[in-house]
């Protein structure tokens, strides 16, 4: 089985090096890395492995903006030209929790399924429509806002329905499919990637409608796959996430939580195949300790 792992990152960290080495150790795998355009590719020169490639057509990524959709689409488009069975999107903070052999066996047993996590009834519901039908200004995306920007953002939230409507969305709102939201980290079969690429090419208005959206990397692809009549979504209550990722959005103090040794038991019980986020500085031994075959009940 051939798997493409697409990684988005902006710096060289211990988790990134560990993950690239682990995933590339299986020569049937292909690792494609998108480095934020703001970063110098020379910093990654130590990664020189036959089945690891760096995307040259890069995007300047800013949190919450369309740039995150754009980068993912470039990775999908690059992968689509190649032969593979599955495509997994990862961040530079992710690590695998199992051997490539075990993952391959799992994927063969679940062949044809797509691995997406959608927001559920247990989540604080976010209406994805609110993120698309308005034109969000650049200053709205600053994660650390000064008092002035906080005031502007509050004013925007109250007045956006009057002055900041997304004209592209409005002109095509009758054609828009029902919107869905979920985790922006996913796994797709080749057939699903093909469907997504074709959908975007045949519906350019859909792509254009998201250019000024807010945090819609959690909406854009989830909505497309829901329009596919042949979709088979993985759903297993014994695994904590249908995208096969262990991500802690509840415990803090960071969101998502930076995983610590005290999280090992929860990770084991999750039965997930990947975990995020890992500290930027971490030994290989530390990261291996999170693997399914290394986790101990005592923590």
Note the CATH architecture for domain 3-123+177-288.
Answer: Alpha-Beta Complex (3.90)
Instruction: Look at the alpha carbons of 97, 187, 246, 278 in this order and tell me if their dihedral is positive or negative.
Output: positive
For the chain, domain boundaries: 3-123+177-288
- Mean pLDDT, the chain, integer: 94
Distance (Å, whole) CA 19 – CA 272: 15
Contacts of 69 (CB under 8 A, 6+ apart): 210, 216, 217, 220, 221
**pLDDT-based confidence at residue 296 (cuts at 50, 70, 90):** very low
**pLDDT-based confidence at residue 299 (cuts at 50, 70, 90):** very low
User: What local confidence, expressed as pLDDT, does residue 122 receive?
Assistant: 62
Number of other residues whose CB lies within 10 A of the CB of residue 46: 8
Whole-structure pTM value? 0.94
| pLDDT surpasses 70 at 37 | yes
| pLDDT surpasses 80 at 204 | yes
């Amino acid at each position: 089985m051939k798997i493409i792992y697409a990684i988005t990152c902006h710096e060289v960290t211990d988790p990134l090096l560990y993950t690239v080495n682990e995933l590339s150790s299986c020569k049937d795998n292909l690792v494609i890395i998108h480095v934020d355009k703001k970063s110098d590719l020379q910093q990654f020169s130590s990664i020189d492995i036959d089945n690891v490639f760096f995307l040259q057509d890069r995007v300047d990524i800013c949190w919450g903006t369309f740039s995150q959709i754009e980068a993912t689409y470039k990775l999908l488009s690059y992968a689509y030209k190649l032969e593979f069975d599955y495509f997994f999107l990862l961040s530079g903070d992710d690590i695998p929790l199992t051997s490539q052999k075990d993952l391959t066996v799992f994927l063969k047993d679940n062949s044809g399924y797509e691995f997406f996590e959608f927001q559920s009834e247990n989540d604080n519901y976010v209406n994805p429509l609110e993120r698309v039908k308005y034109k969000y200004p650049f200053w709205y995306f600053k994660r650390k806002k000064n008092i002035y920007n906080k005031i502007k953002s509050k004013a925007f939230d109250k007045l956006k329905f009057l002055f900041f409507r997304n004209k592209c969305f409005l002109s095509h709102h009758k054609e828009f499919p029902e919107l869905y939201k979920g985790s922006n980290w996913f796994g797709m079969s080749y057939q699903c990637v093909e469907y997504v690429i074709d959908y975007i090419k045949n519906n350019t208005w859909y792509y254009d409608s998201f250019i000024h959206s807010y945090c819609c990397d959690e909406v854009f692809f989830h909505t497309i796959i829901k329009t596919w009549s042949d979709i088979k979504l993985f759903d297993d209550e014994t695994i904590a996430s249908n995208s096969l990722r262990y991500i802690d959005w509840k415990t803090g103090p960071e969101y998502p939580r930076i995983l610590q040794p005290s999280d090992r038991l929860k990770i084991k019980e999750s039965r997930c195949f990947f975990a995020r986020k890992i500290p930027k500085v971490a030994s290989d031994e530390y990261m291996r300790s999170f693997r399914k075959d290394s986790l101990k009940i005592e923590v």
